[in-house]
Structure 1
Amino acid sequence: MNLVDTMDAVEAGRRLGHDLHRLCRIPPQPCWPPAVREGFEAAAASRAARPRQDDRFVRKWLQLRLGALVRGRAVAADVTVDLLHRLDVSHCPVTREPLTYGTRLGRDASVDRLNNDGAYAASNLAMLSARVNRIKGGRSFDEVLALSRRAEPTSSLAPVEWLRLAVLMLGPAHATQPQAAPALPLCAPLPATSVRTALQQVQRLLTVTAGPAASRNRLLRGLLPACGSVAAEARLKLLADAVHLGLKRLAPGQPCWDVWLQPGLMTALLAWRDALTERAWAHTSWTAGQLAGGQPVSRRELAPWQLATRGYWPAAAPLTRAATR
């Protein structure tokens, strides 16, 4: 059981107020919801010590919870300061611009839900720039994918940037129906904890291991027994060789993920997958997950997403809007 199952929005507000007093230096704000002020005042009355300075990850965690609370959005128990450390990246995976912190400008790091119909949960989050977060807004995966297929930029994002955003959103958007997920070139690094499709798992493994011949061969030794046929094994070898050569063709400093934008790579990937039987694909998917250290996501594990209420607290209306300084 998780906190989303057992705690309502009022109790979440009280806990947040307590943490705001205990973990950061911010003074009480008149625009905070009553439950947050109540928790803050209770912590102050207990004479709990306050930190000498703020930690940016703690501050981001508190801001995320407060922003979610005033909009009625649920926050799962696995959204922690440690999670924000794991999600932290130096560059926005969509625009590839360096991320900043605390400037209140478009390049500031921002935590966003990838499936807008889900709550704040570890498997549904990514670190993006504030500008990309704002442009994405409430757009669905299908809308983002459609924008990636236009010839011209939309809302200042180029088609390839929309494609990178679609890649990030793909797994979370199809968490309950992975069989409906389209095959996309893995042209962006996936968040450390987000849901990903089985095909993305394979693409990621190939991208990070197929460069050196030795690690490529180790990966093949792990995946080949799952293929189930000589034809599928031959196509996997061709795919691994294609990724190996494609990585060598990248320009100096070019991200490895761009390999999947090269002509022929996606064709080779899909030719291999089409050679697998349903049973062989299931075995391959499981094997890829084991090699990557991942695990299947069950409906029970998706419960903190609150999909039935589109990510909102059950039977709760958003509280009065508030913001930290």
Structure 2
Amino acid sequence: MAQAALAFAPEFGAEPSAAGHALQPAGAPTTAFERSGWDIGRDHARYGLTPPADQMLFGHPVRQGWDAGQPAFRRRTRPATPAVRQWLALRLQAWLRGAAFEDLQVTPNLLRQITVSHCPVTGERLTQHTGHASDGVIERLNPQAAYAAGNLAMISRRAQAARAGRDAQAALLTAREAEALPADDTLEGLTAAQWLRLAVLISFATPLPHAQAAALPLLMLPPNRVRVLNPVQALQVVLSLPFAGTAELPRLAPIAALVPARARPAFHVFMTTLLARRVAGGHPWDAAAMKTAMLAAWTDPLMQRRWQRLSLELTTAEADAVIHGATRAGLDGTPWRDSSFAQATEGWGLPVPQPAAARGAPSARTGLIALPGVERRASGGSRVRVGVAPAMVAGKGLRGVRVG
């Protein structure tokens, strides 16, 4: 974020001068809250934009920053792309709510990467800036965490309005209430199936008890850049993702060797069920059809029962170890990395769970993140490729890669 020249900030409460600008300050913003609003206003000026009218009262921190930025950027503003406008609006939204905003990784570039064409909750095609319920908006998944990378996803304004700030537990409870309604009826604008998808989406970025996370069906793959914090859900994605595309299936025997002996029968039954759903899903060269078929399979009670039998045989630490072992050995067929909980939630403002060996205890390592396929330069100049969009990546650093 731009470093503001606070000496140019007008005094809080100043009246406009005859030239139409606020009087020069007697001092800079005195609190962190005022300073953040000042920076937002100045960045609006940097991109040649005017903040919303209700933020333009004289003496308002956003107005102060905007007034200070006008002479500094009048002749050298930067292009105000849709991603920039969305970034400024998101910062302002966080500031007005008094929520933390992680400005090192949450950039216009990140917002471009998490933009999607269809709402993951309702399935409707998203529009932009029409004022309709179908407009795409960036939503913070875990309401207890900051506006930070990995905790943001694009959904429709209709889904955002229905959610109304609910966390994963509240969304799941609403889904159960909606199930009592006649088929296709809505509760607060969403059907029971849509409420359950919303609960699953929120759960990816929400630390949950092992048994509760294990009970959730994989009704969607985590959207790009969303971090999966619960090891059992990360394992669910790792095992399911290869069946949801056209790539060659991974070798299962080496992965089974990583599973504790007591859980291997359940592992083989579950993987056989996945394979059967893949065979029944249609032509293996049709990636879209395969993905649809595999996600639809999670609505089958048999599929869910077999997954829960496997997942509840494992402790959190054991699920984490399977992911870590498969990643290090390259057995999953995709470029994975695993990161610590602290790394995955850097800038989120969440407490770091302590590792424990007890069944269902939270793990301190697993963090799963979806990244697009991009090429980067590794240290030493070797070429590296991160993911294949939308690839699921787990790794020891938030930018960990497999060198090829």
TM-score tier by shorter-chain length is 0.7 to 0.9
- Match for residue 259 of structure 1? 297
Q: Report 1 or 2 for greater relative contact order, CA contacts < 8 Å, sequence distance ≥ 6.
A: 1
Return the offset for 1:268. Answer: 1.7
TM-score with structure 2 length normalisation? Answer: 0.65
- Match for residue 207 of structure 1? 240
**Partner Cα separation in structure 1 for residue 318 and residue 97 of structure 2:** 45
Q: What fraction of aligned residue pairs are identical, expressed as a percent?
A: 28
**Partner Cα separation in structure 2 for residue 268 and residue 213 of structure 1:** 24
- Match for residue 9 of structure 2? none
Letter in 2 for 1:174: P
**Partner Cα separation in structure 2 for residue 178 and residue 278 of structure 1:** 6
**Partner Cα separation in structure 2 for residue 120 and residue 236 of structure 1:** 37
- Match for residue 347 of structure 2? 304
- CA change 1:269–1:105 in 2 (3 A) is same
- Match for residue 125 of structure 1? 152
2:54 to 31, 48, 64: 31
Return the offset for 1:159. Answer: 0.8
| CA deviation profile, 1:157-201 (whole Å, cap 9, x unmatched) | 1111111001011132326x6676352001022132333222222
- Match for residue 68 of structure 1? 94
8 Å contact 2:136–2:156 — kept in the other structure?
A: yes
**Partner Cα separation in structure 1 for residue 68 and residue 138 of structure 2:** 29
Aligned residues: CA RMSD? 2.9
1:172 to 185, 205, 215: 205
- CA change 1:293–1:85 in 2 (3 A) is farther
TM-score with structure 1 length normalisation? Answer: 0.80
Return the offset for 1:42. Answer: 2.0
1:100-249 matched pairs, under 5 angstroms:
100-149=127-176, 150-152=179-181, 153-174=186-207, 181-196=213-228, 197-210=230-243, 215-218=248-251, 220-221=252-253, 223-229=255-261, 231-249=262-280
Structure 2 gaps of 5+ residues are: 4-30, 283-287, 352-404
Equivalent pairs, count? 297
Q: Which has more radius of gyration?
A: 2
8 Å contact 1:87–1:193 — kept in the other structure?
A: yes
8 Å contact 2:231–2:319 — kept in the other structure?
A: no
| CA deviation profile, 1:288-313 (whole Å, cap 9, x unmatched) | 66653342312x764633459xxxxx
- CA change 1:146–1:289 in 2 (3 A) is farther
Q: What is the SS of the residue equivalent to 2:155? A: strand
1:11 to 35, 56, 59: 35
8 Å contact 2:232–2:320 — kept in the other structure?
A: no
Q: What is the SS of the residue equivalent to 1:126? A: strand
**Partner Cα separation in structure 1 for residue 110 and residue 245 of structure 2:** 31
| CA deviation profile, 1:226-284 (whole Å, cap 9, x unmatched) | 2132x533432332221122134347847242221123212222222344466533411
- Match for residue 67 of structure 2? 41
| CA deviation profile, 1:76-116 (whole Å, cap 9, x unmatched) | 12221122122111110000001111111111111111122
Letter in 2 for 1:11: R
Higher strand proportion: 2
Structure 1 gaps of 5+ residues are: 309-325
Q: What is the SS of the residue equivalent to 1:123? A: coil
8 Å contact 2:214–2:308 — kept in the other structure?
A: no
Letter in 1 for 2:43: D
Which 4+ runs in 1 deviate beyond 6 A? none
